[in-house]
Chains A and B, each alone.
Chain A
Amino acid sequence: MIELKHVAKRFGAQVVLDDVTLTVTEGETMALLGPSGTGKSVLLKHIIGLIRADSGEVIVDGLNVRKLKRRELAKLRATIGYVFQNGALFDSMNVHENIRLGLTDPAQYNDQEFVEARVLECLKIVNLAPDVAKKMPAELSGGMRKRVGIARAIAGKPKYLLYDEPTSGLDPVNADIIDTMVKRLDTDLGVTSIMVTHDVRGAFRTADRIALLTAGKIVAIGTPEEFRDSTVPEVRAFLERDFDNEPI
């Protein structure tokens, strides 16, 4: 389970997260919606300890992320797969090496046979051909980079998956493919997921619950149906703008 309790974060004078409280239960897929620059990615980075909260608590699997020592944090991170917005693939390594780095168990990482099999398995899960393994990140399209990023995140069989804008910058067809894949992964792997996005359609398609983060605060949270029927002005404004007044 992932819990954020009264988390606050500011960068200089700018308040990015303001008393954010959020709980994601085991096996749940939560979509975190919000306009650009409202602190969605910052919130996600708190969960994995890449950013430390000024106040409040981030608890993952009963562990307070802010109070973990270096080794404990590394151990926790091994249970979390993080899909970065633009893939964040290592330029100097080919796809095979990138996915291999996702193997957080040293025994598995050093077992060549296991590595070969797992890399191919991960590529298959994200619908990429085996020969992609030899390519360098610069040779991949945007959609392929995102998929390799997902393959790397799932390589170590994590308990949690955090997606940072998995469909941003993609055309609608590729965005649909990624959304379908996220949904399938969550079901097949049984992971607990948080997907940060500003794509309302994708959120409705994949999430068990949706939260809206605006100006550093969670202003609404609920199932897709509850969210669609919400009367909170920020939710209405967000939905109407995104769907261009078409019915969902």
Chain B
Amino acid sequence: MKIAVCVKQVPEGTKRIDPATMRLDRSGEGALNPYDANAVEEALRVRESSAEGEVVLVSLGPASALDAIRKALAMGADRSVLVSDDAAAGSDLVATSYVLAAALEREGADLILFGQQAADSDGAVLWAAVADRLRLPLISQLADLAVEGGSVRGKRQTEFGYDVIEAPLPAVVAVSDAINEPRYPSLKGIMSAKKKPQETLTLAELGVDPSHAGEAGSRTTVLALGAPPPRGESRTIEDDGGAAGEIVAYLEEKRLL
């Protein structure tokens, strides 16, 4: 059982868009996207429940993304593949999914896992694009997961309750952050992470033409930055026993009652 987990490094702390490049400022400290930790945890659980298996991390990002990848290795993943190339910077969904799909094709995993969203772009869509490129079945928003007899089954959380869905392997699966509580890396895990195989590939080494990556391969663009519209006047009162009456008066004034 070979499991690939797609992980991403996201900026730590307050995020900002650099007005000069119109891209997310990735110059500061980076961290493993917290939602990806759920996917790594789930991969480790699947590996532990099967006789043998391998968990490989696949990522696209700057060379500094290795810091985030090492955290996932410290959790227990076996090795990593980072695609890092200046020509891939600024990739949108179309370009990112193209490059990741190429890296995943090279691995040929039985199960490809994603976390439920990226904490920086708020994107929650990449897996579907990757599944389409790999021509594999897709299940997203899984709140639990079981691998059995060549298929994966789980409970998908939707606006209308839960759908139990099953798909044959190989498959692409995105897990929700309700699926598990990610383990903390042990000291031993942290020490051994450094020695685990960590491959870094350029686009050329991956066999991806640069026209498919970065801005050249992207189909969306950021045009301008603005500020969110400010809210109107706000009022705060202390409850002296009459606050409920004041709320009713306010709601009537706003024609909400």
Report if A and B associate in a common complex: no
